[in-house]
Amino acid sequence: MEIDQGVVDALQHAKHVLVFTGAGVSAESGIPTFRDALSGLWARFDPAALATREAFRRDPSFVWGWYEWRRMQVYKAQPNLAHRAIAELSANVAKLTLITQNVDDLHERAGSIDVIHLHGSLSTPRCFACARFAVEPLPPPDEPIEGRHLEPPRCGHCGGKLRPGVVWFGESLPTQALAQSFAAAKDCDVLLSVGTSGVVEPAAQIPDIAWRAGATVVHINPDTKGVRGAREFWLEGRASEVLPQLLAKGFRRQRIEFIR
């Protein structure tokens, strides 16, 4: 794949790079996207019907069991070359902000730090009653059986049932994470939008905010993406293929650790 020299130049001269990732990045590690068809017993249930406060209130053990099944999928997965390339990029630019719509910890396991999670995290539950986050992350999951009901752990503060620490349908994105994301979009020189459809609001505003503020916006995705021309590019392909090529071309004089 030929990478436009304008993308390389912008990345080399950037003082602040913002990387904005979506489900396509995690899918390359084998984690099904939320919209993918499920298999087995779970195929009988609509994921959207399980990702609500009403569903948890109605049957908390069933919802917790489903999320533990999802967490086991994440636990077994490994960061791919895209995750590792993003972590390596932070060592080659003056400043990098990483914003993800994914609820897994693959960015952190690849070496990225201070990741902004717009949709929360599977590993950090919070109390359904008092809304406090658990002090400690969840331990590695037991091997869950599909369709199994699992009683949620209890809150150490009020004794209420813990719920998954992700954003459910009908809930707002975390205020602080969203504010940090919009501020980074206004400040960055280059925004890499990786593996995201760019249709889920309000997160979809982030690339547009960056472009209107004068940044170079680069979309990395196998699916066709219309661009506005000036300062906006589309690199067609899988993130695990495009990102290593981009780093190798932009920082060829430096040692790129993830390429072995």
Q: Is 142 annotated as a binding residue?
A: no
Identify the active-site residue in 119, 149, 157, 219.
Answer: 119
Q: Is 26 annotated as a binding residue?
A: no
Distance, in Å, from the CA atom of 191 to the CA atom of 210, rounded to the nearest integer, reads 7
Active site residue 13: no
Q: Is 221 annotated as a binding residue?
A: yes
Q: Is 216 annotated as a binding residue?
A: no
Q: Is 90 annotated as a binding residue?
A: no
β pairing state of 96-100 and 116-117: parallel
Q: Is 29 annotated as a binding residue?
A: no
H or E segment to which residue 8 belongs? helix 5-13
Q: Phi/psi class of residue 192: alpha, beta or left (left: φ > 0; alpha: ψ in -120 to 50)?
A: beta
Distance, in Å, from the CA atom of 109 to the CA atom of 178, rounded to the nearest integer, reads 23
Q: Is 188 annotated as a binding residue?
A: no
Please list the residues that pair with 100 across neighbouring strands: 21, 117
Distance, in Å, from the CA atom of 174 to the CA atom of 135, rounded to the nearest integer, reads 18
Identity of residue 2: E
Shortest CA distance to 167 belongs to which of 67, 73, 24?
A: 67
Q: Is 79 annotated as a binding residue?
A: no
Q: Is 104 annotated as a binding residue?
A: yes
CB atoms within 10 A of CB 198: 18
Q: Is 202 annotated as a binding residue?
A: no
Q: Phi/psi class of residue 97: alpha, beta or left (left: φ > 0; alpha: ψ in -120 to 50)?
A: beta
Annotated catalytic sites, by residue?
A: 119
Extract the annotated binding site for Zn(2+). Answer: 127, 130, 155, 158
Extract the annotated binding site. Answer: 67, 70, 101-104, 127, 130, 155, 158, 195-197, 221-223, 239
Extract the annotated binding site for substrate. Answer: 67, 70
Extract the annotated binding site for NAD(+). Answer: 101-104, 195-197, 221-223, 239
